[in-house]
Amino acid sequence: MLEVLDNGKPYAEAINLDLPLSIQCYRYYAGWADKISGSVINPSGPVAKGNFGYLEREAVGVVGQIIPWNFPLLMQAWKLGPALATGCAVVLKTAPQTPLTANRVGELIVEAGFPAGAVNILPGDDDTGKIVAGHEGFDKIAFTGSTGVGRKIMESAAKSDNLQRVTLELGGKSALIIDESADMDLAVNTAGLGLWLNQGQCCCASSRIFVHESRYDEFCLRIAEVAKAKPVGAGYGEDHKTLDGNGKGWPQGPQVSQEQFDSVSGLIAKGVEQGAKLMAGGSRFGDKGYFIEPTVFTDCKDDMTIVKEEIFGPVMSVLKYKDTEEVIKRANASNYGLAASIVSKDFNKARNIAKRLRAGTVWINCYDTFDAALPFGGFKASGIGRELGEAGLSAYTESKTMVVGQSGF
């Protein structure tokens, strides 16, 4: 309920998705804590031959972490889990819009008996974030948020005396490809989940839907019907206690703030201005709060603002394509590369497309399928490094090579 009050997301999402995934992440990395090991190396070169070599992995040091407002509890777990498992101390800065669940976790950390100073929760505004990003006392900075801020953090880290390590999980403009063989029920459900989860406030949201020309009209009509029927309202209302909104489809809450509401509304207006066809939504829902109707644009072109820029709201752009080579080229024609999805009954075709998409995660016949064991991160302007899985540990360790000579013992 703290997450609902803080972020505005529906209670059903918080209790069935955010909370279980957060718990799983902590348990997963707790299991790694005593299994982070090195390796033995047998040198064979002309100088080191006969000596004994081994590799150790040790904590990178003190880490500054900055998390976003869209999944406050889960993003906290993604950051704290691997850092603590590797032995790093953490200063975690929360988003100014959503401090409550992080503060509660901080209370639980004290109650659990963590050593003083191991975890430090720092609520604050953007200026506080700049202090964390520019502080020379950190050995590493981990950030999740916009690509623009990520670039500034890289600049700051490059100027630090110790050349701080940086990992960045940034924005996206993910493509979802629906081919001519796709099961249409699955395609509509996948696209709806991929775009409207968390009010569209997901870095990997399926905001570019490419549909084969033979199925385009059918998909557009079906997804518009889903958008129009989607329940919208306060996250703690009676219709939001179950994941399907009591049979009405995934519930949708408000945008997180006035600023976000205004940004999304402005981009919707831009879509209309540039000639996209508004099939559903496009307006404010109700007369108070930051609610925006689930929105579907069709007849979209690749050069439209709503197709190129990350919206971070419940706005879907549907595009038509003719053949596989064309759609791969268009899907990759973005500065972002966080995620993608393919809906198809032809596995070999889907697999071959997936291999050619420049994205860190590609889902086939599903979307937003997360697990603590599955690494997540992006290509290109969508970030540097990976979170989750064993790969998520590497960013919080340094490798140290040890060589022992045979003489002297």
Q: What is the CA radius of gyration of the chain?
A: 23
Are the C-beta atoms of 234 and 241 separated by less than 8 Å?
Answer: no
Rounded to an integer, what distance in angstroms lies between the CA atom of residue 299 and that of residue 275?
8
Which positions are annotated as active-site residues? Answer: 169, 203
**Please, what is the angle between helix 100-112 and helix 72-86, to 10°?**
30
Instruction: Quote the tokens at residue 311.
Output: 């919206």
Instruction: Quote the tokens at residue 63.
Output: 């880490």
Instruction: Quote the tokens at residue 237.
Output: 């209302």
Q: What region, left, alpha or beta, does residue 84 occupy, with left being phi > 0 and alpha being psi -120 to 50 degrees?
A: alpha
Residue partners of 128: CB distance under 8 A and separation at least 6: 93, 122
Place of tokens 């690494």: 375
Are the C-beta atoms of 305 and 270 separated by less than 8 Å?
Answer: yes
Rounded to an integer, what distance in angstroms lies between the CA atom of residue 94 and that of residue 124?
7
Integer distance in angstroms from the first to the last C-alpha of the chain? 62
Helices (H), 237-382: 258-273, 305-308, 324-332, 347-356
